[in-house]
Amino acid sequence: MIRSQLCHERDFQQPWYRGWVEAMRQQVRLHRKQWEHVVIAQALSERGMLAPMMRGLGFGVGLEPLPALFASKGCTIVATDQSSERAQAGSWASTDEHCSSSARLNTAGICPDDLFSSRVSFRAEDMNAISDDLTDFDFTWSSCAFEHLGSLEAGLRFLLRQSECLKPGGWAVHTTEFNVFSDAKTWTSGSTVLYRRRDLDALRRAVGSSGLEIEAFDFSLGDLPNDWFIDHWPYHDEPHLKLLVADELVTTSIVLVLRKVGGTSAPREPILDVRDGITAPVVDGIPTKATPSDETAVSTERLIADRDAWRRRYEQIFGTDDAQRSLEILRLEQTCRHWRNQYERIARVFPIKQALWLRRRILGLPDPSTTSE
């Protein structure tokens, strides 16, 4: 089940991914924008939202395929985007990313025209000042829109305010930009902002008092090759899951799944993290045992602590006669091998000198060589 998570290459390999792509009249591409559309659809579908009689509200829809896709499933959709005046001022219209009427939302023929006309309406809407009459929706969504509202705080205010558009028990699925390697330096204001883990942790603390629940975060970066490919300007069509911006920060997409308290909700499955054959329960996106998270790449001190913890764990295992000792050793070796490979991968694909310094320090290598690997 889709939770609050980063863009992962493994999602592109799932049967449901191809199914949604075909429904949108597209081909599978290793591109995070396509991933956003697909996981929004999958998350809503898993929660029973994409069905006849369901009402959905989309924010900042631009020319995305989701209004037509949801209408094809029987939903009644209100699609919104900023006014034409604001779009012109922000250059969204000149890059053909702005919608001014519902007529442009079904050009791919995703939904039969007669059904689309009866199920989809369009209106201009300011995400910083949502109209009071937008209420009683079963679900809301947006695809990388609320990071363009002027500041980190404005985007988080939008997430809280849009919950008032939902019925009790309704679902909200929104994607945004995530700052991959820094929990300090980021873009805090301007035309685009990048959310750090600490910003989303603050959101998690705030939603409870606003009548919302947020699905547990999975901040793992993925463990397939393209999860560790950093795209550079000029950007490629694919793979394009993570990208370097302004030669200083790496960003990717994250999906946030929220529910308005009240009503009934779909049954929740246990959340598990599986790597190298080791399965561990996940609490707030962090495996509770055995598996070091890929996110530890952001903190050298945490990595060193992890290395020392693994050394102590080895000593504990060899100091006992437990019948499970052999199995524990095998699992530990698998995990450590995965852990080491991740940091070697960083050095290969992350084109910043700090990555090489990080690898040397973590792996205990001798003094640095300036030669790139």
pLDDT at 341: 58
Whole-angstrom distance, CA of residue 280 vs CA of residue 274: 7
Cis, peptide link before residue 225, omega less than 30° from 0: no
75 close to 159: Cβ distance less than 8 angstroms: no
pLDDT at 296: 37
In the sheet that 272-275 helps form, which strands lie side by side, from edge to edge? 272-275, 278-283, 286-287
pLDDT at 355: 54
What is the mean pLDDT, run by run of 10 residues, along the chain of 373 residues?
96 97 96 98 97 96 94 96 63 48 84 95 94 97 95 95 96 97 94 95 86 93 90 87 90 97 52 30 36 40 51 53 52 55 52 51 51 39
Question: Which residue's entry shows tokens 């790496």?
Answer: 250
250 close to 297: Cβ distance less than 8 angstroms: no
CATH topology of domain 4-269: Rossmann fold (3.40.50)
Containing H/E element for 178? strand 166-179
Summarised one tens digit per residue, pLDDT across range 275-306 is 233 233 333 333 333 333 344 344 444 444 55
pLDDT at 72: 96
Whole-angstrom distance, CA of residue 243 vs CA of residue 210: 33
pLDDT at 209: 76
Domain edges within the chain: 4-269, 274-363
pLDDT at 369: 46
Distance of alpha carbon 280 from the chain centroid: 21
Name the phi and psi angles at 226, rounded to 5.
-75, -10
